[in-house]
Structure 1
Amino acid sequence: MSSSATAATGLDALFSPASVAVVGASENPAKWGYQLAIGALSGRDRRTVHLVNRRPGSLRHQPFAPSLSALPAAPEHVVVAVPPPYVDRVIGEGLELGCGCFTVITSTGSTAAEERRLARDVTARGARLLGPNCMGVVDASSQLNLSWGDFPTGGVGLVSQSGNLALEIGRLLARADQGFSRFVSLGNQRDIDAADAIEALISHEPTRAIAAYIEDFHEGRRLARVLAAAHAAGKPVMLLTVGDSAASARAAASHTGALVSTRTTVDAMCRESGAILLRSAGELVDTALYLMAHHRRTTRPPRSADAGTEPALRVAIVGDSGGHGALAADTFTGQGMDVPPLGAAAQEILRAHLPGRESHHNPVDLAGAGESDLAAYARVTAGLLNDTTTDAVVLTGYFGDYATANPAQRHQECQVAHELADACDTAGRPLIVHTMARDTPTVSALRRRGVPVYERIEQAAGALAAAHRITSPTPPLPPAPPARRTLSDAHYETAREMLSSYGLRFPAAEFVHDVDTAVTAAQHIGYPLALKAMGLAHKTEAGGVALDLRDEAALRTAFARMSATTGSASYAVEAMVRAPHSHELIIGVRRDPSFGPIVMVGIGGVTAELTADTAVALAPLTHAHAKGLLLRLRHAPLLTGWRGAPAVHLDAAAQAVQAVAQAAAEHGELTALEVNPLLVHPHGATALDAHGVLSTGDSGSVLH
């Protein structure tokens, strides 16, 4: 036979092939091969479809071919749904024929190394592989359906490692008259991975929002760049992943391992790339509905110059009962938004449209005005949408259900729905509707006009809060320069020396092995001082720290006790650092296998894990980024001056964070590096302890 398959440009053969073959097609509706074949045949107006099974048979008047080689021309896209022992044989045959893409549904049962070898064979021939162990691919615009299940059509492009989760998301979208533009089931990601699939969605015009469920991250920084490109193209990305991982706590013998989980790492990547990390299929769908309606309309209040963080979103609420409005106010406030008193201009609008009221508060209670005149909903809402002190407007309660009780009101209620959508378009501000109605003509009219409608008020609040967390990507990370040195031992002196070369300040110190040498060191340094036992990751808990030693007798007593308690062979004699209005921070970096060095800053000291007040980012950092991390902490007001106390030297603190991140990024032999505590005060920042983990194959050597 002749080979007519052509090498696909990018992923063209995956999403829009000229021909498809389903290998393992079946006449049995209970089998995957049947569902895949039926789906493939649904697009035969757009492409040639072949069904392959070594046993004779047919489906919908199309006979089965015994093999790929028996086809009149090689298909561009081959769907492999055969038992595991035959997968390699089918792919090998397709490669010889020149097929451009293979979607492997089968779970091969092979090792990861064997699957990677198979993927290398495919890509070496200029072809691509999706899977194995995947659910397939769907593209509504090209009428491609190579998967199991029903996929409603809409504006969401979904990339997922879970097939059943995709089906759940699809059903939730369908209930809101939405669906998928594309669906890619990643499976084991041996070739086509999440970054590839998401990148293909950026230029896909029918896709208005991108959703992804990822368990295994490949080349995390490449994925971050793709997510930033999606943000720049106006395609908001929503991500789901598995939760906090106990494995991450074992990544380093330090506080950092306990404070930086897999989820916090992914959240940091999302924050820096302009994506958003969510927790459930329902939350994802609620947020997608909002973003597809209002992504381009969303306005943000000005950034607070002294706080360094986004201020709360200001929400105006219109309810047709006091209860609905009050509960909505509590719900949105609970999600971190502000329901502020209305300004003079907004109150003037309400006086014009709701005369006779003694006061006009936020939330606005129509109190029967809507029942007597449905147009009041549009007039009041439009006025609030056009008020410059309002960032978003929520309409909550009964609107949408009037025609259910009185069909004669159907036309007018739908007309008001269009007036609400017109007002939203004119004002360029988001409108969210919460209604007790379901599937009414008015609800459908609102959704067709791009106004998100929610059945529960907490869905509306969650969607707006989640969308507001999408921030602009940070500037491109500065690349880590080549390592200037290689750490070859695990001595604390080495760690101090290395960090000091990056500008980190430490107290004066000498390292000793016996009490007499410690006394001599104390004479050089001067009292009061601190004594620390080396070789312990958590010195304080192990009795390895003695502070404020004021004379030789105190030093000898502390040394004897510490030697008996810890059995350490070496000790640090350090100057005590005193600073009024000081606070303790922790800076930690761990090397993530997918994302590389990850820096964490938080409230430190012995209570670091108790407070768990941290901010995380990819390393290295710019100075501005390091400062921004400090200002994101819940306890940031302590650093900027709380209740009249002077602020700490925030630039010095940021320089310390930047230095530790840079050091770890430049030293690939370190799997973890930590400074805890970093004492920050109005005049500077001083590192009081540091340790790290030096990689030695499968284990680490701790730097104390």
Structure 2
Amino acid sequence: MSIRHLDRLLEPRSIAVIGASIRAGSVGATVWANLHVGQFAGVIYGVNPKHKVLGDVAIFAQPADLPEVPDLAVICTPPETVTGLIEELGRLGTRAVIVMTAGLSAEQKEAMLKAARPHVLRVLGPNCLGLLSPHHGVNASFAHTDALAGNVAFVSQSGALVTAVLDWAKSRRIGFSHMVSLGERADVDFGDLLDYLASDSRTRSILLYIESIEASRKFMSAARAAARNKPVIVVKAGRAGSGLTAAASHTWALAGSDIVFDAAIRRAGMLRVETLQDLFMAVETLARFGTNRDEVLTLMTNGGGAGVMAADAAALAGIKLQELSHPLLTQLDAVLPPTWSHANPIDIIGDAPVARYTQTLEAVLQDRSSGAVLFMHAPSAIVRSEDIARACAPIAGEATSRVMACWLGDAAVATARQVFDQAGVADYATPEEAVRAFALLATFRRNQALLLEAPTASENGPPDLIAARASVEAALDDGREMLNELEAKAVLTAYGIPVVQTLATGPTPDAAAAAGRSLTYPVVLKIPSPDISHKSDVGGVSLNLRDEGALRQAAAEMLERVRKLRPEAPIAGFTVQSMVARPMAQELIIGASIDPVFGPVLLFGQGGTAVEVLGDRAIALPPLNRVLAREAVSRTRVAKLLAGYRDHPPAKLDAIYDVLVAVSQMLADLPELAELDINPLLADHEGVIALDARLRVSRKQDAGAAHFAITPYPEELAETVQWNDETILIRPIRPEDEPQHRSFIEALQPEDLRLRFFSVRRELPRSELARLAQIDYAREMAFIAVRNLPDGTSQTIGVVRAVIDPDNVDAEFAVIVRSDLKTRGLGRILMRKMIAFLSGRGTQRMVGYVLRENEAMRKLARSLGFEPVAAPTDADAVFLALNL
């Protein structure tokens, strides 16, 4: 990932149009005209050997003839010219190019990138519409109109969508900080622009139109970083599910690409919407109503029909309508006619005068338990909508974080809508749209919360990796991809997942009967075969066999049936297992597979033989912990059954979460793991037990932590070191460390906090603490020093942190040690650990700001080789750097 020279692309001081023209309908002519019509304050050059002038502007034959090196060049020439132009521009010193040219072959694109690479010349495109940066007066595109300046950035994989959104937004006076058409994304892609826009002061929210993602880890890392700073809202094409191809595995068949993308968006803290209309509705909601944190909604209307429509929409979206409190009912009875609804929705009756509106709105807002308020009005001949709006706007304007408005109609309510708009109240065209916006906001809050969770550790102990690998390697050594049932269950057992006792037998009824004598009846008989993915499809499972005679008969009938239906399938024998009697249990499925874009993924849902028909499943991206596992489970319908009902007590949910965490760890540890189904996994109040497991391995090794879309915890960086007279552990920080980190911060002296954070701070807010503990290891590292206490607990005694820029050039560090342990060499140990880590990942410099009065830190830095660097900085601080 890189943001190198993206400022030249999005905020250029000079622009050259290669292929500038006045030929009507040509790209070169349109770009040339758009740049001159705009308010660009810099210099615009034209390059075209066929022209001396265009209008009254001198045109140059080639880039080398230009009087200065342009920051940005826009190429509108044939495919065969692009590589040569890139090479020439890079040599001159241009660092950003937009290639609008379409039709480049794969070889031409590779040659273009090869020419750009030595100069770190950034390429947008090819085959793109260009970009618009309205605050800088830049319209380097062939769009049909200019954009208004605003605080929304729109990045699109489709140029046509840029023009459509541009037209739509301009008619509604919506402005943009940047609009970018990515085209074929040969160089600059979503990840690069997310990194840039995340810190762009003119951008308050980021909108993405996505058709496909290639570099999933880069995208996820940039998306998670951007979503921490500002709302990121996504529309993705391809929801219809072309990725839902049939496969042998339940999990693989269910884990289609679009639902995996959904899981990725959720995990990154972004919000996905289904339509472009919803995209801008979400922008409106987040801009004007985004600080709302209410989970319930109160409806206020002058017409029963509008209230019913809103209530129906709320029910379908899972939004709770708040029951009116007794004090509020009493207050409303005093100002409303006897025929009012006396419930939520609050119907104030169609003949309501202005005073009835204001009194009702004030009463509802005074009662904090009413949550968010949807104010709805349908025009009538009794009182003008404009008068109602002018009376209610001051009330609603004082509570914009709680009020949503819906003025039903068009011309009759246009002025009223404008009055509320000027008061800063979020406005929606229909009740359903308003409720959908409230539901989107709730989803956005949940997604954001995943970025701030402090997970607890799984109760599973460390896996028996030797035993798990033995089963995997046994299958691969035999030339098999499918593990047999015993091997698959051995892998589960190695990861602490309870499995039912299972015995393997020969392929005869006598052998099955012999195995049955080692178990307690009733038993289950199965016929495993590497060619039969789902045994029940061919009658390969017999349940509840109560004695040896029933077992023998079932074995004989099963052999005959399977040989008839699948004569080609090899049958090495049977498996016999105890019949598990758990009448209160739910049948679940937990699985894993490899998505072609996002790599290893997990599945959870309702299990059994009808798993595809039920379609009740949730997808999650590893690595997982209990918090993330709980969130995945909560997205399924079976979660309601697991919570308990009637005579069914709640299931032991932590046991389910730990199976998901164990499978996540399996995916990290076993790169050969291609598909896994645990189906059914029985879950009840006693815990869980796996009745069957199907596991496929592959020498391609597409699993493993290296293929995770989200960088997992780097366990290998932990080490024990000798510090004075004790042994301590230096390891990367984990999300689970948040409580321990809070204790560490609270133990610091105020003066040490001031030297670390450059301000007087008594405590850190929960959100900041969570961010300190839950980091993206792809772009940040924090090593903590941990000592063991006599009572068996551990204690954080120091931390060093480095935030690495997207180009891996500079890493800004900070270090702090417990106040009572300073001057004992711990800071040096931590700094050396970070220096070694950054050197190993190829970072060029380690830099940091240190207060001039912090002589101890400056002395430590000097002893490690840091030197002061001239840089714009606060007069009270020194900028230090160490070349790595």
Q: What TM-score range do you get, normalising by the shorter chain? A: 0.7 to 0.9
Q: Is 1:502 the counterpart of 2:484 in the alignment?
A: no
Q: Note the C-alpha offset of 1:185.
A: 1.2
Change (3 A) 1:273 1:533: same
- Give the structure 2 partner of residue 458 of structure 1: 432
- Give the structure 2 partner of residue 85 of structure 1: 80
- Give the structure 1 partner of residue 361 of structure 2: 381
- Give the structure 2 partner of residue 308 of structure 1: none
State the distance in 2 between where 1:175 and 1:334 align. Answer: 32
State the distance in 2 between where 1:133 and 1:184 align. Answer: 12
State the distance in 2 between where 1:345 and 1:369 align. Answer: 25
Q: How does 1:557-636 map to 2 (within 5 A)?
A: 557-564=553-560, 565=562, 566=566, 567-570=569-572, 571-636=574-639
Change (3 A) 1:641 1:365: closer
Change (3 A) 1:395 1:120: farther
- Give the structure 2 partner of residue 304 of structure 1: none
- Give the structure 2 partner of residue 335 of structure 1: 317
- Give the structure 1 partner of residue 408 of structure 2: 435
- Give the structure 1 partner of residue 398 of structure 2: 423
State the distance in 1 between where 2:543 and 2:17 align. Answer: 73
2:500 is aligned with what amino acid?
Answer: P
- Give the structure 1 partner of residue 794 of structure 2: none
Change (3 A) 1:431 1:264: same
Q: How does 1:646-665 map to 2 (within 5 A)?
A: 646-665=649-668
2:228 is aligned with what amino acid?
Answer: A
Q: How does 1:54-69 map to 2 (within 5 A)?
A: 54-56=49-51, 58-69=53-64
For the 8 Å contact 2:83–2:115, the answer to whether it is kept is no
Q: Which of 165, 174, 190 is 2:170 aligned to?
A: 174
SS of the equivalent of 2:45 reads strand
Q: How does 1:333-412 map to 2 (within 5 A)?
A: 333-354=315-336, 360-368=342-350, 370=352, 372-373=353-354, 376-398=356-378, 412=387
Q: How does 1:123-272 map to 2 (within 5 A)?
A: 123-147=117-141, 148-150=143-145, 151-250=147-246, 252-272=247-267
State the distance in 2 between where 1:55 and 1:8 align. Answer: 35
Q: Any unmatched runs of 5+ in structure 1?
A: 1-6, 301-312
Q: Is 1:105 the counterpart of 2:100 in the alignment?
A: yes
Q: How does 1:302-313 map to 2 (within 5 A)?
A: 313=295
SS of the equivalent of 1:37 reads helix
C-alpha offsets along residues 214-234 of structure 1, whole Å, 9 cap, x if unaligned?
Answer: 122133244333333333224
For the 8 Å contact 1:385–1:423, the answer to whether it is kept is no
Q: Which of 518, 529, 542 is 2:512 aligned to?
A: 518
Q: Note the C-alpha offset of 1:58.
A: 4.3
Q: Note the C-alpha offset of 1:19.
A: 1.1
For the 8 Å contact 2:672–2:702, the answer to whether it is kept is no
Q: Note the C-alpha offset of 1:294.
A: 1.1
Q: TM-score, normalised by structure 2?
A: 0.71
SS of the equivalent of 1:225 reads helix
C-alpha offsets along residues 234-264 of structure 1, whole Å, 9 cap, x if unaligned?
Answer: 43433434214333435x5211122222121
State the distance in 2 between where 1:135 and 1:211 align. Answer: 17
Change (3 A) 1:164 1:387: farther
For the 8 Å contact 1:152–1:179, the answer to whether it is kept is yes
For the 8 Å contact 2:288–2:425, the answer to whether it is kept is yes
Change (3 A) 1:606 1:194: same
State the distance in 2 between where 1:124 and 1:592 align. Answer: 34
Q: Note the C-alpha offset of 1:675.
A: 0.9
State the distance in 2 between where 1:348 and 1:65 align. Answer: 80
Q: Which moved more, 1:471-480 or 1:432-441?
A: 471-480
Q: Aligned pairs, how many?
A: 670
SS of the equivalent of 2:375 reads strand
Q: Note the C-alpha offset of 1:393.
A: 1.4
For the 8 Å contact 1:321–1:365, the answer to whether it is kept is yes
State the distance in 2 between where 1:260 and 1:381 align. Answer: 47
Q: Note the C-alpha offset of 1:55.
A: 1.6
- Give the structure 2 partner of residue 303 of structure 1: none
Higher relative contact order, chain-length normalized (CA < 8 Å, sep 6+): 1
CA RMSD of aligned residues (A): 3.1
SS of the equivalent of 2:370 reads coil
1:593 is aligned with what amino acid?
Answer: P
Q: Note the C-alpha offset of 1:80.
A: 1.6
Q: Is 1:122 the counterpart of 2:102 in the alignment?
A: no
State the distance in 2 between where 1:116 and 1:446 align. Answer: 54
Q: Is 1:549 the counterpart of 2:545 in the alignment?
A: yes
Change (3 A) 1:457 1:44: closer
For the 8 Å contact 1:530–1:575, the answer to whether it is kept is yes
In percent, how many aligned pairs have the same letter?
29
C-alpha offsets along residues 47-72 of structure 1, whole Å, 9 cap, x if unaligned?
Answer: 11112223216445323322212211
Q: TM-score, normalised by structure 1?
A: 0.88
State the distance in 1 between where 2:47 and 2:381 align. Answer: 55
Q: Note the C-alpha offset of 1:194.
A: 0.9
2:577 is aligned with what amino acid?
Answer: E
Q: Note the C-alpha offset of 1:103.
A: 1.4
C-alpha offsets along residues 102-121 of structure 1, whole Å, 9 cap, x if unaligned?
Answer: 1111223312x753553354
C-alpha offsets along residues 480-507 of structure 1, whole Å, 9 cap, x if unaligned?
Answer: 9998648332332332222211011222
- Give the structure 2 partner of residue 310 of structure 1: none
Change (3 A) 1:263 1:392: same
Q: Any unmatched runs of 5+ in structure 2?
A: 476-481, 704-884
C-alpha offsets along residues 87-114 of structure 1, whole Å, 9 cap, x if unaligned?
Answer: 2122122112121011111223312x75
State the distance in 2 between where 1:221 and 1:464 align. Answer: 31
- Give the structure 1 partner of residue 419 of structure 2: 445
State the distance in 1 between where 2:195 and 2:381 align. Answer: 44
State the distance in 2 between where 1:617 and 1:178 align. Answer: 35
- Give the structure 2 partner of residue 305 of structure 1: none
Q: Note the C-alpha offset of 1:599.
A: 0.9
- Give the structure 2 partner of residue 491 of structure 1: 483
For the 8 Å contact 1:169–1:282, the answer to whether it is kept is no
State the distance in 1 between where 2:324 and 2:512 align. Answer: 68
Change (3 A) 1:417 1:91: farther
Q: Note the C-alpha offset of 1:415.
A: 3.3
State the distance in 1 between where 2:523 and 2:236 align. Answer: 50
Q: Which of 470, 473, 489 is 2:450 aligned to?
A: 473
1:317 is aligned with what amino acid?
Answer: L
Q: Is 1:640 the counterpart of 2:643 in the alignment?
A: yes
1:391 is aligned with what amino acid?
Answer: G
For the 8 Å contact 2:677–2:693, the answer to whether it is kept is yes
SS of the equivalent of 1:642 reads coil
SS of the equivalent of 1:616 reads strand
For the 8 Å contact 2:421–2:427, the answer to whether it is kept is yes
State the distance in 2 between where 1:355 and 1:569 align. Answer: 80
Q: Note the C-alpha offset of 1:74.
A: 1.8
State the distance in 1 between where 2:465 and 2:97 align. Answer: 41
1:529 is aligned with what amino acid?
Answer: V
State the distance in 2 between where 1:554 and 1:8 align. Answer: 70
Q: Note the C-alpha offset of 1:161.
A: 0.5
